[in-house]
């Protein structure tokens, strides 16, 4: 196995802090993060508010833990090199050699010129299987003719612009007053949903010792709302007790359900390149790690690990296990986009975001409303008919979509895949505008 990386290898991948789920590491066959890779603070209690300051719900025992992605990346790279993988970093260009059948056969890889690397050198790498884990741009994906119709450009309203920063607290009394205003304690998170469009968030977590805060902001990247960096600036202006940024990062995350087809002869897509991200909040770490595990399991014993039927098994296993769940939460993403800030405010103010449902969403699980709660849910919906008109169909679509992953075709069959994808599209309904 050879890992090709454009940056210096020690700064590859996400370099900020991410909320991750221990259960997803276990499914991927990895030890969940422990300190210092896992932050001791920040997990546990999340208070959810609307932009006008109305309290929606407080989630206790939140399942998410915060991982230092730089340390997690170091651990994963050490595991990979320990298992024999070779790292080639500062790759400046990739020439993709596709054979007449459309299968990628080789890459001509230029490394450097770069400090510590020296002048540019070019090497040819031939392999049975190429894995595109290059992030949302999918640098190999676009060279596979078989994927052209399946992996369209992801639209701006299906992308999230996000920033996550650790910021020093200059004025601890100001931080205390902020927490008091929201009924929160140090170490807990205050999350505002819908500040810039229905699908948007601002989460501030003040450390227990009032030394620093984690600020996570994100909204759709279609130019109608804001951007992660602008939301971060606005947060720092509004919360004047925040000081300079200690570390952090900014990026764009695909939010749509995974592409229906994520394999082609000689090629498999993993991570953001496959849109393996949880649509309701743009989390891709755990789902990408699980994809890596499923791909390894499907291919490692095969005589030709890039054979179409072999890589299809990875695609099938991913869609069987997660395709329905992610399509269901794509319905939720579309609903929150369609509701807009005002609609999300009405939904949360009406008490329609229960603690159990919010916790399930954070845990990346679908949970239908408890039948015992139905009379009170119906009464709440009746008070906000405009919200009900979007939320009830979403819940119905989500229930149907949840099971649709299992119907992904077992064997390579592009016509059957097209029928499956058409079913998912039909159940999802129209895109919000």
Please pick, from the candidates 51, 112, 249, 369, the single residue that binds ligand FAD as defined by CB under 6 A: 249
Name the one range near ligand FAD by CB under 6 A: 7-15, 199-207, 324-332, 348-356: 7-15
Which of 6, 55, 155, 236 binds ligand FAD (CB under 6 A)? It is 6
Q: Which of 63, 197, 284, 412 binds ligand FAD (CB under 6 A)?
A: 284
Tokens read off for 227: 């951007």
Give the residue from 204, 163, 253, 186 showing the smallest Cα distance to 48.
204
* Binding status of residue 280 toward ligand FAD by CB under 6 A: no
Of positions 30, 62, 72, 91, contacts ligand FAD by CB under 6 A? 91
Q: How far is the CB of 217 from ligand FAD (least distance, A)?
A: 8
- When binding is defined by CB under 6 A, the residue of 37, 39, 164, 330 that contacts ligand FAD is 164
- Residue 135 interacting with ligand FAD (CB under 6 A): yes
Applying CB under 6 A, among 201, 283, 310, 319 the residue interacting with ligand FAD is 283
Cβ closer to ligand FAD: 162 or 338? 162
In the set 22, 42, 197, 251, which binds ligand FAD (CB under 6 A)?
251
Binding part of the chain for ligand FAD, among 188-196, 239-247, 280-288, 360-368 by CB under 6 A, reads 280-288
Q: Smallest distance from the beta carbon of 165 to ligand FAD, in angstroms?
A: 9
Of 415, 341, 404, 356, the closest CA to residue 51 belongs to: 341
- The residue among 215 and 331 lying less far from ligand FAD, judged by its C-beta, is 215
- State the pairing for strand pair 159-169/212-220: antiparallel
Stretch that binds ligand FAD, among 127-135, 148-156, 334-342, 361-369 (CB under 6 A): 127-135
CB of 179 to ligand FAD, least distance (A): 21
Element (H, E) at 348: helix 324-349
* Contact in structure between 394 and 331 (CB atoms under 8 Å): yes
Q: Taking phi first (over 0 means left), then psi (-120 to 50 degrees means alpha), and beta for anything else, what does residue 351 get?
A: left
Tell how far CA 37 is from the center of its chain.
19
Shortest distance (Å) from residue 412 CB to ligand FAD: 24
Dist. CA 288–CA 275, nearest whole Å: 9
Q: Is 4 in the site for ligand FAD (CB under 6 A)?
A: yes
| Interaction between residue 232 and ligand FAD (CB under 6 A) | no
Taking CB under 6 A as the rule, does residue 163 contact ligand FAD? yes
Close Cβ partners of 189 (under 8 Å, ≥ 6 residues apart):
42, 45, 46, 47, 62, 203, 204, 205
Backbone angles phi, psi at 219, to 5 degrees: -150, 175
Of 65, 63, 67, 162, the residue nearest 365 (C-alpha):
63
Residue 241, both tokens: 């007790």
Locate tokens 């592409």: which residue?
259
- For the chain, the distance separating the N- and C-terminal CA atoms, rounded to the nearest angstrom, is 44
Closest C-alpha among 391, 293, 319, 394 to residue 350: 391
The answer to the question of residue 271 lying near ligand FAD (CB under 6 A) is: yes
Q: Nearer to ligand FAD by C-beta: 164 or 330?
A: 164
Among 59, 285, 362, 428, binds ligand FAD (CB under 6 A): 285
Q: How far, in Å, CA of 124 to CA of 133, rounded?
A: 19
Query: CB 299 → ligand FAD: shortest distance, Å?
Result: 18
Q: Is 30 in the site for ligand FAD (CB under 6 A)?
A: no
- Closest to ligand FAD by CB, 38 or 346: 38
Contact with ligand FAD (CB under 6 A) among 27, 94, 392, 416: 94
Of 278, 272, 259, 270, the closest CA to residue 364 belongs to 278
Residue positions counted in the chain: 433
The residue range among 279-287, 355-363, 392-400, 411-419 that interacts with ligand FAD, by the rule CB under 6 A, is 279-287
Measure the CA–CA gap between 416 and 414, rounded to whole angstroms: 5
Give the integer Cα–Cα distance in Å for 255 and 266. 26
Of residues 28, 129, 159, 162, which one binds ligand FAD by CB under 6 A?
Answer: 162
Looking only at the bridges linking them, the beta strands covering 189-193 and 46-49 are: parallel
CA distance 231 to 159: 16
Residues that bind ligand FAD in the complex, under the rule CB under 6 A = 4-7, 12-14, 16, 18-20, 91, 94, 133-135, 139, 162-164, 249-251, 253, 271-273, 277, 282-286, 288
């Amino acid at each position: 196995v050879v890992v090709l990386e454009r940056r210096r290898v020690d700064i590859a991948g996400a370099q900020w802090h991410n909320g991750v789920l221990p259960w997803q590491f276990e499914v991927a066959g990895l030890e969940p993060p422990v300190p210092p890779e896992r932050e001791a603070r920040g997990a546990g209690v999340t208070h959810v508010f609307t932009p006008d300051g109305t309290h929606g719900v407080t989630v206790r025992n939140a399942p998410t833990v915060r991982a230092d992605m730089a340390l997690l990346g170091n651990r994963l790279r050490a595991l990979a090199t320990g298992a024999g993988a070779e790292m080639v970093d500062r790759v400046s260009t990739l020439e993709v050699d596709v054979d007449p059948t459309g299968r990628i056969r080789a890459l001509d890889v230029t490394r450097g010129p770069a400090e510590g690397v020296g002048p540019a050198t070019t090497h040819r790498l031939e392999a049975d299987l190429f894995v595109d884990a290059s992030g949302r741009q999918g640098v190999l994906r676009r060279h596979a003719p078989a994927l052209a119709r399946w992996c369209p450009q992801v639209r701006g309203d299906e992308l999230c612009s996000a920033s996550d920063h650790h910021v020093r607290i200059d004025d601890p009394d100001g931080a205390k007053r902020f927490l008091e205003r929201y009924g929160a304690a140090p170490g807990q998170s205050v999350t505002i949903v819908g500040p810039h469009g229905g699908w948007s968030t601002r989460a501030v977590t003040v450390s227990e010792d009032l030394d620093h805060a984690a600020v996570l902001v994100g909204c759709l990247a279609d130019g109608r709302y804001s951007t992660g960096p602008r939301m971060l600036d606005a947060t720092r202006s509004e919360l004047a007790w925040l000081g300079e940024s200690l570390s952090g990062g900014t990026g764009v995350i695909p939010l749509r359900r995974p592409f229906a087809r994520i394999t082609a002869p000689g090629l498999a897509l993993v991570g953001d390149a496959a849109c393996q991200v949880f649509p309701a909040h743009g989390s891709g770490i755990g789902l990408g790690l699980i994809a890596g595990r499923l791909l390894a399991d499907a291919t490692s014993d095969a005589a030709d690990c890039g054979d179409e039927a072999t890589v299809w098994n990875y695609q099938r296993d991913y869609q069987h296990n997660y395709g329905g769940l992610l399509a269901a939460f794509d319905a939720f993403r579309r609903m929150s986009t369609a509701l807009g800030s005002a609609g999300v405010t009405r939904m949360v103010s009406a008490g329609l975001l229960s603690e159990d449902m919010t916790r399930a969403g954070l845990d990346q699980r679908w949970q239908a409303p408890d039948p015992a709660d139905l009379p009170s849910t119906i009464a709440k919906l009746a008070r906000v008919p405009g919200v009900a008109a979007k939320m009830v169909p979403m819940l119905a679509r989500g229930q149907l979509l949840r099971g649709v992953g299992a119907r992904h075709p077992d064997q390579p069959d592009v016509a059957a895949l097209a029928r499956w994808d058409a079913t998912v599209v039909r159940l999802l309904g129209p895109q919000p505008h």
